[in-house]
A and B are shown apart, each in its own frame.
Chain A
């Protein structure tokens, strides 16, 4: 098959989504097997959002992420080996074993971190965008957050701040329909889109299970921000396949009825793109199998790297609290 630019882009989108999916499935297994000592919030089902948005971003653009952050980090170019090392608590991990699932970050790649507090990353994205604007750099900041965050004051404050300062920000709302287990309609009145529009943001809603549609919408929003057109808001309607989080203990009950879950799986963004590529004659089942094998091999390599890495030395627990430590700072638990 002759591989043109469009094919490369389409295959890259597929490959990235497949990486996100298989990474999360692997992480879930590692949790259940006890190798990851805490819970993870699986991103399965929502891959088209992270991959579609990040495909519109460049290496110097910035994202902030959420508690369900693995997908955003991988989509922005995060290294699965360093992520797995972090999840396994190794010193080679992204955060040197100090963060775990909810705090993975790679500042050099513009990944300002997953975050354990809903909505908390948005003002940081605004601060980065302000720096880009004042330094006359054409970079963009894209904070990801869920539908539940639309009730968080700091996010709404950030909308206002971004409009007021005309910042190059693309707010990405991943509406998966649930604020943890509460159907969003029960706790959010009015409309998400109208709420954002009320701040003066340019708004658009897109099918978050269609990576090409997300990418196209993100391209428009990012171009607008880069060209000095100001902030915008992209609502991506999506579904998460997993329960809220996966931990080694008793399984978190799924708040959704079986038919609702089946309906969500029928919209699987990865299968959808794979099907489209075959229907359009852009690739064959063999091409897909080859990409899938590459993803498996990358993840297996990453897991091997993580497992073979050392855990941090207990004495290093005091490092990185401060750029500049002082005598007795940080204090240890027995210091006088």
Chain B
């Protein structure tokens, strides 16, 4: 049974169901008890202060706290209210949690989920609240997902919690207001599986989050001109569905990557590299990337829009690869 849920409500439902199903799951974060955050509202009242713990504003310590609790048998969800709040915790994420199981020779693994809210730019949030920091995580080898729809948000959140490794769930601020059908049951999506959001024949656009939705809308607009755009949404950034990417690019022979993280060594660069290695002989045009500029996200609207990955630029890139 499905019913329409808002994106953030879908995350909350996943948190409730995961905590109901497994008493070893607990959640730490900031400002949960007060219920000001819609993704965690009501969790404290339901599960109490042994399982929903408001942390001091000490991101480094509470990230390491989750690592230690996981070593001692816990299954921990760590919430960062805004994506840039991972930076104070960087050592504990990339140098401790991401490396510890390997360095231990597999003595233990770490069932920890990093719920990273507020990913991406969204109207004047400026330099320190607008990042899509997943490339750092991918670089560090931390499993990462980027759910686009409310159904994806719930199923990937549940999958992340069930995984015995650290998994980062990036919730893009650009889809918070969206609503869509979400199964009532706790259904897990497999990691490492992308989805063809809209089938097409002439060009593959790789995009996730709000950018996938924008790409689908653009594809509808271009249909009448005889340009058939396929939108492929990776959903899971690490592991990545390389076979799904390859199948789409081999089919269309053209690739545009539409990604709102930084250009240099960003996610789009990785996709472009993979497609060049795997699909070189199928390509009919050079690969194009439409990304953020490599500058700080500015506050004022005209200059903010200027540096983001916009659908206008995507359209121009699609037309360019079509020749």
Residue ranges of A at the interface with B (Cβ–Cβ < 8 Å) = 62, 64, 93-99, 103, 105-108, 112-113, 115, 117, 120-132, 134-135, 141, 153-154, 157-158, 160-161, 164-165, 319-324, 326-330, 336
Cross-interface CB contact of B68 among A99, A126, A328, cutoff 8 Å: A126
Given contacts A134-B50, A336-B274, contact A329 B238 (CB under 8 A): yes
Which of B55-63, B203-211, B261-269 participates in binding chain A?
B55-63
Q: Is the CB of B191 within 8 A of A326?
A: yes
Q: Is B70 a contact of A327 with CB atoms below 8 Å? A: no
Separation of A47 and B253 alpha carbons in the complex (Å)? 66
Determine if A326 and B64 form an interchain contact, defined as CB atoms under 8 angstroms apart. no
Q: Are A127 and B68 in contact (CB under 8 A)?
A: yes
1/0 contact string of B210-225 vs chain A (CB within 8 Å): 0000000000000000
The answer to whether A326 touches B239 (Cβ under 8 A) is: yes
In the bound complex, what is the Cα–Cα distance between A125 and B91 (angstroms)? 16
Check B104–A107 contact: CB distance below 8 A. yes
What residues of B have a CB within 8 angstroms of the CB of A320 in the complex? Answer: 101-102, 104-106
Binary per-residue interface labels of chain B (89-110) against chain A in the complex, 1 for a CB within 8 Å, 0 otherwise: 0011001100011111111110
Given the contacts A120-B91, A120-B92, A336-B277, A160 and B108 also touching, CB distance less than 8 Å = no
Q: For the complex, what is the distance from the CA of A327 to the CA of B239, rounded to whole Å? A: 8
Q: Report the minimum CB–CB distance from A318 to chain B (whole Å).
A: 10
A-contacting 9-mer, from B30-38, B71-79, B194-202, B299-307 = B71-79
Chain A hits for B288, CB < 8 A: none
Q: Is B294 an interface residue (CB 8 A)?
A: no
On whether the beta carbons of B65 and A124 are closer than 8 Å, the reply is yes
Q: Would A127 and B69 count as touching, CB distance under 8 A?
A: yes
Given that A95-B105, A117-B91, A123-B61 are contacting pairs, would A323 and B69 also be in contact in the complex, using a CB cutoff of 8 Å? no
Contact A328 B240 (CB under 8 A): yes
The minimal Cβ–Cβ distance linking B249 to chain A, given in whole angstroms, is: 12
Q: What 10 new A-B contacts, CB under 8 Å, besides A154-B64, A320-B104, A324-B163? A: A113-B103, A123-B63, A124-B65, A127-B69, A130-B69, A135-B73, A322-B109, A322-B165, A323-B109, A336-B274
- The 5 A-B residue pairs whose C-beta atoms are closest, nearest first, are A127-B68, A123-B64, A124-B68, A96-B105, A157-B61
Q: How far is the CB of B129 from chain A (nearest CB, A)?
A: 21
Q: Shortest beta-carbon distance, B251 to chain A, in Å?
A: 18
A132 contacts across to B, CB distance below 8 A: 72
Q: Are B56 and A164 in touch, CB under 8 angstroms? A: yes
Which B residues, 125 to 181, have Cβ-Cβ distances below 8 Å to chain A?
141, 143, 163-165
Question: Is B107 touching A108 in the complex (CB atoms < 8 A)?
Answer: yes
Q: Give the residue among B66, B103, B164 with the most A Cβ atoms within 10 A.
A: B103
Q: Whole-angstrom distance between the alpha carbons of A164 and B53 in the complex? A: 11
Task: Give A96 to B103 CA distance when docked, in angstroms.
Answer: 8
B interface residue numbers (CB < 8 A to A): 26, 50, 53, 55-56, 58, 60-74, 76, 91-92, 95-96, 100-109, 111, 141, 143, 163-165, 191-192, 238-240, 242-243, 274, 277-278
| A95 touching B103 in the complex, CB below 8 Å, given contacts A123-B67, A128-B72, A134-B50 | yes
* Distance to closest chain B CB from A245 (angstroms): 19
Checking A103, A321, A328 against B242 with a beta-carbon cut-off of 8 angstroms, the contacting residue is A328
- List residues of chain B with CB within 8 A of the CB of A93: 105
Which of chain A's residues have a CB closer than 8 A to the CB of B53? 165
Cα distance, A95 to B242, chains bound together (Å): 31
Contacts of B243 in A (CB 8 A): 327
A153 to B91, CA, bound (A): 12
Within 8 Å by CB of A323, from B101, B240, B274, lies: B101
Complex CA–CA separation, A141 to B64 (angstroms): 14
Could you tell me if B65 and A161 are in contact, using CB atoms closer than 8 angstroms? yes
CA–CA, A131 and B111, complex, Å: 14
Instruction: Indicate whether A125 sits within 8 Å of B50 (C-beta atoms), given known contacts A98-B105, A107-B104.
Output: no
CB A158 to nearest CB in B, in angstroms, measures 5
B101, A321: Cβ atoms closer than 8 Å: yes
A89 to chain B, nearest CB (A): 12
Determine the distance from Cα of A228 to Cα of B105 in the docked complex, in whole angstroms: 34
In the docked arrangement, what's the CA distance between A95 and B108, Å?
Answer: 11
Q: In whole angstroms, how far apart are the Cα atoms of A96 and B101 in the complex?
A: 12
Q: Contacts A329-B239, A336-B274 known; A125 to B104 CB distance under 8 Å?
A: no
Given A96-B105, A154-B61, A336-B274: A321 and B71 interface contact (C-beta under 8 Å): no
A103 to B70 alpha-carbon distance, docked (Å): 18
